[in-house]
A = this chain, B = another copy of it.
Amino acid sequence: MKIGIIGAGQLGRMLALAGYPLGLRFVFVDADEDAPGAQVGRIIHGRFDDPAALAALAASVDVVTFDVENVPQAAAAAVAAKVPFYPPPEALGAGQDRCDEKRLFRSLGIPTAPFEPVDSQQALVAAAERIGLPAILKTRRLGYDGRGQKRLETPADLDGAFAALGGVPAILEGFVRFERELSLIGVRGLDGRTAFWPLAENVHVDGILRQSRAPWEDARLQSQAERHVGALLDRFDYVGVLTVEFFLADGTLLANEMAPRVHNSGHWTIEGAVTSQFENHVRAILGLPLGSTAPTGHAAMVNFIGRLPALAEALEIDGAHFHDYGKTARPHRKLGHCTVVRATQAERDAALESLLALT
């Protein structure tokens, strides 16, 4: 069986590396012929919305998925008309607009921070009055890793803020004084069965994920999160992996955003779970049975951003599992990560310190 992946970033690369042992083959569409995925699979050269490239992909594979969420929904739908395409384009579209996404959460009973769409400076001022400050102004579309957002602390910060973000459709979100950031990754098979990995606790720095620890053991929060992610999976008759990032505030999970794909906060599952998010995504879109999502120990994952440590230094750390995405170094760019798995939380947290010392 051949799987087509739109986007050949590190997520696509890790999907392919998880799928090769199952005997699968992979074809990517990407504009960069030396993209991380292209280094380990065949590539069709083209942008994510290039009709010719997508048609060539559809013609050469059994099923198509994506590793970037900014594939235009229309382009996805055109592929889906020719060949099975998972996750469903509708879910892809729902995550592309922060306002639609939050409305969707609310419609399924999933709590969120207060929010309002903002289409002008005047609307921003009105929304800030209702929601209060501090708040975050974000573009509705195409933001990731902290890009396309602006924190507003005082009324003075509102001045010119709408224009500063480009004057594009935006959303104002109330600032959540969260205790922790947690994420839950779920997967739904073609037969509708679902499975969920344990919650991961995440730390972002400057809007970019820096580290994850899992499992975050809290049975009440786990079941709360599974209910929320399960509702989303069923809403879309979803197939594949779906991630939701939450804030934990006053004992309640507030959904911040969803990603209709494997996710950085699930990289620990490669070594820290019986079946990784990557393998289960592949299993799901091929209609294969889902694998166990049970943890194999206590895992910590650290991202390498802008700079990779020396490989020899990283591998000196006992049980360090190094992942170099094969990318050119650039500031704020995710270049790789490292995971350790230990028998206890305390040992894991000590190993995490060693990983952080590499960054």
Chain B hits for A287, CB < 8 A:
312
Comparing A105-113, A242-250, A315-323, the segment that makes contact with chain B is A315-323
* Copies of this chain assembled into the complex: 2
Of A15-23, A47-55, A96-104, A157-165, the segment with at least 4 beta carbons within 8 Å of chain B is A15-23
Closest B residue to A14 by beta carbon equals B21
Query: B residues within 8 A CB of A319?
Result: 274-275, 291-292
> Is the beta-carbon distance between A324 and B289 smaller than 8 angstroms?
no
Q: Which residue of B lies closest to A40 (CB)?
A: B20
CA distance A291 to B323 in the complex (A): 14
Residue of B nearest to A23 (CB): B324
Q: How many residues of A contact B (CB 8 A)?
A: 34
Is A21 a contact partner of B289 (Cβ separation < 8 A)? no
* A70 lies within 8 A of chain B by Cβ: no
Instruction: Pick from B13, B23, B288: contact of A326, CB below 8 A.
Output: B23
How far is B277's CA from A300's CA once the two chains are assembled, in angstroms? Answer: 23
A39-B21 in contact (CB<8A)? no
Q: Which of A17, A21, A25 has the most B CB atoms < 10 Å from its CB?
A: A21
Are B291 and A315 touching (Cβ within 8 A)? yes
**Which residues of chain B have C-beta atoms less than 8 A from A21's C-beta?**
17, 321-324
Question: Which of B289, B291, B312, B322 is within 8 Å of A312, CB to CB?
Answer: B289
How many Å lie between the Cα of A40 and that of B275 in the bound state? 21
- Complex CA gap A22/B304 in Å reads 13
Can you name the residue of chain B whose Cβ is closest to the Cβ of A324? B23
Apart from the given pairs A288-B312, A296-B296, 12 other A-B contacts in the complex at a CB distance below 8 Å: A13-B20, A17-B20, A21-B322, A22-B311, A23-B326, A23-B336, A274-B319, A283-B315, A287-B312, A289-B316, A291-B315, A292-B319
**Which residues of A come within 8 Å of B, CB atoms?**
13, 17, 20-23, 25, 39-41, 274-275, 283, 287-289, 291-292, 296, 308, 311-312, 315-316, 318-326, 336
